[in-house]
């Protein structure tokens, strides 16, 4: 997917002023939050489960090489082929090679965010093959000329029912439907035929289970089950970090994932797929492949933001992020929006291509407290800010401003003098309500707000005066 | 009990009255308050900007100024949170300094938390009449566990009626330099907050951090609301103080 993260500020501006989007965002905003809250209440000790989830994911990352080898061994023993992609381009190459090997002309896909990283659909089409997205959200986006996803769980969340109705009407050439159920049925009618005629099904992978060589898929529409069982070939694509040691671990993580994501106790479907159809078995694919993707992940693993790899892609951080709630996912300019995207995007596409993302947060830590695997998201954003600062990647005025402030604050005498002068000057700019309407060089603040003017004298001056009046020498 | 009062840079510069109100609350509760004269800033702006070197310089300065105190109290969840939850990380590679910082961090409190949980305050000097709503500032809430403390103190005041607003725990959009770097997003978040305050029916929004206070008040006035008051919790609890300038 094309990276547009350098234009975060401009994109956010557009989104903030998009009335239709703002209406859609308002509708979904409270829903996720309330549903999650109700769902985590079902677990007696949710915090303990969170801690268990954190530990499971961390254990997997700590010995990732060991678990990957175990996975490869066990998946191989069950007849699947395990392949590795170092770069996004390699994902596409591998998929096309597999398609060629099995003479596949049509490919169906259930949701895979990793395949968005490599723009796999475009590569498939460029090779002259047909690809059909079967996740309803992804299908809507594909139909809308490959509009990028705006959320990792609900890729088309930014769209209203009405927009989808218009889209189906135009693209399907059918009478315009209005009800959600009618629209779903229409999409199902279109998609069903593809399941039966596709040679290959591509899925993502919520978890790769080392002890069994299985891939676990967590979905709500049933499309992943069809995608991974009806065609002759199944290719599961996911990152190296998605490995978990045992099925028992998956059980624990499944107590966290649907609850944190959609507020469900359990998703409608959980597929655990292990190897192709065996001797004498009736259901399943003839050939099963895993494409395990690095593409920047091993670099994160060895860095000071490695905890980001614990992510199980529930989307709770973005659902609860006040910034995301107000600008939506497209503003972030790449596959992964919101707080986790503010870490992953700079790491995957290069910090210099996403300079604003680590700063696009108030550090309110709402994301950190809802993360089911306890990723300290604000701390990681700060780590990337430190890297930007150290590498001179911030604008000069920002760097100079901070440096000057810190320099002054380290010199109390000078600081007292400068602040006394500065506050007196600012105080004089106040209007009748004590507000400053416009500040030179402070447009970032005063374009949208007044600046309450300072009282005029600093606390330290007034306090020193009070102590003198009391006959106390200030300590 | 020697209580070191960290006034915080924003209170010092913008609203000294908040500092005096906090002092009054601490002194009324019997604390022996000292105010180190050389104090300036805890270093959080540098820390959050990624300027680690300067954050360390200012953290060292802070530790030197306050470690002689039994407790350190600030009228801010954000600044006390910086000391209690972030200072240690700055000195992870400096064992001697780390020990000093950890000892100091454990004794550092947000004002209302200190009043309720250490000084066991059951009544406050101020009087106030009216309906208020409380905005939970992010760092106070999520770093310092400040939620019930200000409400418990407000509940001791006969004239105060608390009307909770929707999303009282959602960030107002301040975020330090975020408010300037991403002014448009920040203003939108503040706007949402103002709307929730208005919907609560309260005439006063009370909170515990100057940053949020400036942000919410600034947006409120720009929206044309010149009557709803934005007050720091210390000012409500202490009432008008003799030392405070207007």
Residue A408 has pLDDT above 70, yes or no: yes
Partners of B79 on chain A (C-beta within 8 Å) are: none
Contact assessment for residue A363 and residue B48, using Cβ atoms and an 8 Å cutoff: yes
pLDDT the model gives residue A395: 93
Measured between CA atoms, the residue of chain B closest to residue A422 is B13
Residue A322 has pLDDT above 70, yes or no: yes
| The two three-digit tokens of residue A448, written as one number | 């949208």
- Record: contact A403-B35, CB cut-off 8 A: no
Looking at CA atoms only, how far is residue A249 from chain B in angstroms? 29
Q: Which of B185, B218, B245 sits opposite A450 (nearest CB)?
A: B218
Measured between CA atoms, the residue of chain B closest to residue A367 is B142
pLDDT tens digit sequence for B40-91: 999 999 999 999 999 999 999 999 999 999 999 999 999 999 999 999 999 9
* CA dist A312 → A70, A139, A223 (Å): 20, 23, 20
pLDDT the model gives residue A5: 94
pLDDT the model gives residue B244: 54
Looking at CA atoms only, how far is residue B155 from chain A in angstroms? 27
Contact assessment for residue A210 and residue A70, using Cβ atoms and an 8 Å cutoff: yes
Give the torsion sign (CA, A37, A38, A41, A43).
Answer: negative
Name residues whose C-beta falls within 8 Å of residue A162's C-beta, 6 or more positions apart in sequence. Answer: none
pLDDT the model gives residue A283: 84
Residue B177 has pLDDT above 90, yes or no: yes
pLDDT tens digit sequence for A107-138: 999 999 999 999 999 999 999 999 999 999 99
Residue A474 has pLDDT above 80, yes or no: no
Give the torsion sign (CA, B62, B66, B70, B76).
Answer: negative
- Record: contact A455-B61, CB cut-off 8 A: no
The class (CATH top level) of A43-295 is: alpha beta
| The two three-digit tokens of residue A356, written as one number | 């604003």
Partners of A32 on chain B (C-beta within 8 Å) are: none
Residue B34 has pLDDT above 70, yes or no: yes
The length of chain B is: 246
Looking at CA atoms only, how far is residue B245 from chain A in angstroms? 8
Partners of A366 on chain B (C-beta within 8 Å) are: 138, 142, 169-171
Taking the CB of residue B205, how many other CB atoms lie within 10 A of it?
27
For β-strands A451-452 and A435-436, DSSP reports them as antiparallel
pLDDT tens digit sequence for A150-191: 999 999 999 999 999 999 999 999 999 989 999 999 999 999
pLDDT tens digit sequence for B94-121: 999 999 999 999 999 999 999 999 999 9
Give the torsion sign (CA, A426, A431, A432, A434).
Answer: negative
**Domain locations along chain A:** 1-41+315-394, 43-295, 396-469
| The two three-digit tokens of residue A152, written as one number | 């990792």
3-state secondary structure chain B: CEEEECCCHHHHHHCHHHHHHHHHHHHHCCCEEECCCCCCCCCHHHHHHCCHHHHHHHHHHHHHHHCCCCEEEECCHHHHHHHHHHHHHHCCCCHHHHHHHHHHHCCEEEHHHHHHHCCCCCCCCCCCCEEEEECCCHHHHHHHCCCHHHHHHHHCCCCEEECCCCCCCCCCCCCCCHHHHCHHHHHHHHHHHHHHHHHHCCCEEEECCHHHHHHHHHHHHHCCCCCCEEEEHHHHHHCCCCCCCC
Q: Which residues of A152-172 are buried (b: 16+ CB within 10 A; e: fewer)?
A: bbbbbbbbbeebbbebbeeee
Residue B1's pLDDT band (cuts 50, 70, 90): confident
CATH 3.40.50.1860 fits B130-238, yes or no: no
Looking at CA atoms only, how far is residue A358 from chain B in angstroms? 10
pLDDT the model gives residue A440: 84
pLDDT the model gives residue A29: 83
- Record: contact A459-B213, CB cut-off 8 A: no
Partners of B179 on chain A (C-beta within 8 Å) are: 444-445
Residue B144 has pLDDT above 60, yes or no: yes
Contact assessment for residue A410 and residue B61, using Cβ atoms and an 8 Å cutoff: yes
- Record: contact A459-B12, CB cut-off 8 A: yes
Partners of B2 on chain A (C-beta within 8 Å) are: none
Residue with tokens 């549903």: A35
Contact assessment for residue A357 and residue B130, using Cβ atoms and an 8 Å cutoff: no
Q: Which of B49, B54, B186 sits opposite A385 (nearest CB)?
A: B49
pLDDT the model gives residue A296: 95
- Record: contact B171-A450, CB cut-off 8 A: no
Contact assessment for residue A206 and residue A218, using Cβ atoms and an 8 Å cutoff: yes
The number of angstroms, rounded, from the C-alpha of A188 to the middle of its chain's C-alpha atoms is 27
- Starting at the edge strand found earlier in the chain, the sheet holding A214-219 runs A243-244, A207-209, A214-219, A269-273
**Residue range A302-324: average pLDDT?**
97
pLDDT the model gives residue A74: 98
Residues in a beta bridge with B206: B134, B231
Give the C-alpha separation, A112 to B198, whole Å: 43
Looking at CA atoms only, how far is residue B2 from chain A in angstroms? 12
**Residue range A11-31: average pLDDT?**
94
pLDDT the model gives residue A55: 98
Residue A451 has pLDDT above 50, yes or no: yes
Residues in a beta bridge with B48: none
Q: Which of B37, B58, B182 sits opposite A474 (nearest CB)?
A: B37
pLDDT the model gives residue A475: 47
- Record: contact B20-A459, CB cut-off 8 A: yes
- Record: contact A459-B187, CB cut-off 8 A: no
| The two three-digit tokens of residue A275, written as one number | 């190897």
**Residue range A444-468: average pLDDT?**
95
Give the C-alpha separation, A139 to A159, whole Å: 13
Q: Which of A360, A398, A406 sits opposite B57 (nearest CB)?
A: A406
ipTM of predicted complex: 0.96
Looking at CA atoms only, how far is residue A423 from chain B in angstroms? 7
Mean pLDDT of chain A: 96
- Record: contact B40-A382, CB cut-off 8 A: no
Q: Which of B6, B8, B13, B18 to mutate to test the interface with A (most CBs of A within 10 A)?
A: B13
Looking at CA atoms only, how far is residue A159 from chain B in angstroms? 21
Partners of B41 on chain A (C-beta within 8 Å) are: 405-406, 409
3-state secondary structure chain A: CCCCHHHHHHHHHHHHCCHHHHHHHHHHHHHHHHHHHHHHCCCCCHHHHHHHHHHHHHHHHHCHHHHHHHHHHHHHHCCCEEEEECCHHHHHHHHHHHHHHCCCCEEEECCCHHHHHCCHHHHHHHCCCEEEECCHHHHHHHHCCCCCCCCCCCCCCCCCHHHHHHHHHHHHCCCCCCCHHHHHHHHHHHHHHHHHHCCEEEECCCEEECCCCEEEEEECCCHHHHHCCCCCEEEEEEEHHHEECCHHHHHHHHHHHHHHHCCCCCCCEEEEECCCCCCCCCCCCCEEEEEEECCCHHHHHCCCCHHHHHCCCCCHHHHHCHHHHHHCCHHHCCCCCHHHHHHHHHHHHCHHHCCCHHHCCCCCCHHHHHCCCCCCHHHHHHHHHHHHHHCCCCCHHHHHHHHHHHHHHCCHHHHHHHHHHHHHHHHHCCCCCCEECCCCCCHHHHCCCCEECCCCCCHHHHHHHHHHHCCCCCC
Measured between CA atoms, the residue of chain B closest to residue A413 is B38
Residue B246's pLDDT band (cuts 50, 70, 90): very low
Q: Which of B13, B52, B142 sits opposite A386 (nearest CB)?
A: B52
Looking at CA atoms only, how far is residue A356 from chain B in angstroms? 9
pLDDT the model gives residue A282: 86
Partners of A377 on chain B (C-beta within 8 Å) are: none
What's this model's pTM, rounded to 2 decimal places?
Answer: 0.96
Q: Which of A346, A387, A409, A412 to mutate to test the interface with B (most CBs of B within 10 A)?
A: A409
Residue A470's pLDDT band (cuts 50, 70, 90): confident
Across the A/B interface, how many CB contacts are shorter than 8 Å? 217
Q: Which of B7, B19, B51 sits opposite A406 (nearest CB)?
A: B51
For β-strands A269-273 and A233-239, DSSP reports them as unpaired
Contact assessment for residue B237 and residue B208, using Cβ atoms and an 8 Å cutoff: no
On the CB side of A356, CA atoms within 13 Å amount to 19
Residue B14's pLDDT band (cuts 50, 70, 90): very high
Contact assessment for residue A332 and residue A342, using Cβ atoms and an 8 Å cutoff: yes
Q: Among A293, A295, A406, which Cα is nearest to B40's? A: A406
Residue A98 has pLDDT above 80, yes or no: yes
Contact assessment for residue A454 and residue A443, using Cβ atoms and an 8 Å cutoff: no
- Give backbone dihedrals phi and psi of A417, rounded to 5 degrees, phi first: -65, -50
Over the Cα atoms of chain A, what is R_g?
26
């Amino acid at each position: 997917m094309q990276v547009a993260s350098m234009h975060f500020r401009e994109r956010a501006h557009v989104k903030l002023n998009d009335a239709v989007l703002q209406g859609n965002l308002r509708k979904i905003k409270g829903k996720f939050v309330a549903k999650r809250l109700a769902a985590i209440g079902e677990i007696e000790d949710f915090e303990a489960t969170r801690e268990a989830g954190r530990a499971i994911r961390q254990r997997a990352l700590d010995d990732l090489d060991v678990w990957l080898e175990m996975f490869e061994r066990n998946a191989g023993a069950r007849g699947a082929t395990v392949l590795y992609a170092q770069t996004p381009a390699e994902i596409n190459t591998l998929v096309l090679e597999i398609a060629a090997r099995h003479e596949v002309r049509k490919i169906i896909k259930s949701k895979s965010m990793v395949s968005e990283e490599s723009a796999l659909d475009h590569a498939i089409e460029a090779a002259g093959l047909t690809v059909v997205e079967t996740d309803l959200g992804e299908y809507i986006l594909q139909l809308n000329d490959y509009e990028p996803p705006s959320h990792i769980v609900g890729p088309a969340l930014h769209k209203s029912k009405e927009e989808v109705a218009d889209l189906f009407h135009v693209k399907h050439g059918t009478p315009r439907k209005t009800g959600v159920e009618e629209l779903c049925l229409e999409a199902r009618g279109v998609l069903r035929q593809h399941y039966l005629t596709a040679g290959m099904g591509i899925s993502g992978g919520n978890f790769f289970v080392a002890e069994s060589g299985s891939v676990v898929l967590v979905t709500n529409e049933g499309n992943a089950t069809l995608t991974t069982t009806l065609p002759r070939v199944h290719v599961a694509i996911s990152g190296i970090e998605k490995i978990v040691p045992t099925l028992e671990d998956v059980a624990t993580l499944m107590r966290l994932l649907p609850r944190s994501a959609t507020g469900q106790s359990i998703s409608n479907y959980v597929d655990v797929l292990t190897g192709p159809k065996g001797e004498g078995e009736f259901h399943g694919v003839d050939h099963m492949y895993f494409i395990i993707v690095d593409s920047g992940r091993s670099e994160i693993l060895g860095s000071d933001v490695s905890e980001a790899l614990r992510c199980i892609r529930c989307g709770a951080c973005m659902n609860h992020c006040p910034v995301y709630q107000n600008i939506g996912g497209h503003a972030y300019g790449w596959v992964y929006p919101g707080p986790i995207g503010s870490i992953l995007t700079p790491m995957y596409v290069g910090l210099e291509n996403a300079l604003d993302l680590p700063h696009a947060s108030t550090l309110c830590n709402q994301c950190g407290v809802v993360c089911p695997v306890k990723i300290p998201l604000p701390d990681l954003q700060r780590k990337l800010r430190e890297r930007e600062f150290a590498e001179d990647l911030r604008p000069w005025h920002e760097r100079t401003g901070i440096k000057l402030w810190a320099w002054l604050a380290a010199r109390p005498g000078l600081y007292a003098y400068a602040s006394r002068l500065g506050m007196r000057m600012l105080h004089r700019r106040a209007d009748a309500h004590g507000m400053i309407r416009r500040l030179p060089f402070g447009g970032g603040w005063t374009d949208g707000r007044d600046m309450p003017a300072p009282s005029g004298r600093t606390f330290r001056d007034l306090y020193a005066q009070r102590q003198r009046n009391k006959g106390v020498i200030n300590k | 009990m020697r209580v070191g009062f960290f006034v915080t840079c924003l209170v010092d510069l913008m609203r000294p009255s908040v500092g005096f109100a906090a002092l009054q609350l601490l002194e009324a509760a019997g604390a022996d308050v000292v105010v180190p004269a050389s104090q300036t800033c805890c270093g959080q702006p540098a820390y959050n900007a990624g300027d680690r070197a300067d954050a360390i310089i200012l953290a060292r300065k802070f530790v030197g100024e306050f470690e002689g105190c039994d407790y350190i109290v600030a009228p801010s969840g954000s600044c006390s949170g910086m000391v209690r939850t972030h200072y240690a990380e700055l000195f992870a590679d400096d064992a001697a300094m780390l020990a000093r910082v950890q000892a100091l961090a454990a004794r550092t409190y947000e004002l209302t938390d200190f009043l309720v949980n250490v000084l066991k305050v059951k009544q406050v000097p101020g009087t106030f009449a009216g309906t208020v709503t409380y905005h939970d500032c992010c760092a106070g809430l999520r770093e310092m566990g400040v939620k019930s403390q200000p409400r418990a103190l407000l509940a001791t005041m006969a004239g105060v009626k608390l009307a909770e607003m929707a999303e009282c725990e959602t960030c107002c959009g301040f975020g330090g330099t975020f408010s300037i770097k991403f002014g448009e997003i920040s203003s939108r978040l503040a706007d949402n907050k103002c709307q929730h305050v208005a919907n609560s029916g309260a005439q006063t929004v009370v909170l515990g951090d100057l940053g949020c206070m400036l942000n919410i008040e600034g947006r409120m006035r720009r929206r044309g609301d010149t009557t709803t008051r934005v007050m720091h919790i210390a000012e409500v609890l202490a009432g008008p103080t003799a030392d405070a300038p207007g």
